Amino acid sequence: MSKENKDLGDKAEDAMGKAKKKAKDLGEKASEKFDDAKESTKEFAEDAKEKASDFAEDAKDTAKEFTESAKEAFGGAGGENKKLLAGILAIVLGWLGVHKFILGYTKEGVIMAVIGVVGWFLCGIPTAVVSLVGLVEGILYLTKSDEEFYNTYQVGKKPWF
pLDDT tens digit string along 5-40? 666 666 667 767 776 777 677 777 767 777 777 787
DSSP-assigned states of every residue in 16-84: HHHHHHHHHHHHHHHHHHHHHHHHHHHHHHHHHHHHHHHHHHHHHHHHHHHHHHHHHHHHHHHTHHHHH
Single pTM value for the model: 0.49
Domain boundaries, the chain: 1-75, 79-155
pLDDT tens digit string along 101-127? 888 888 988 888 888 888 888 887 888
Which of 112, 107, 103 has its CA nearest to residue 155?
A: 103
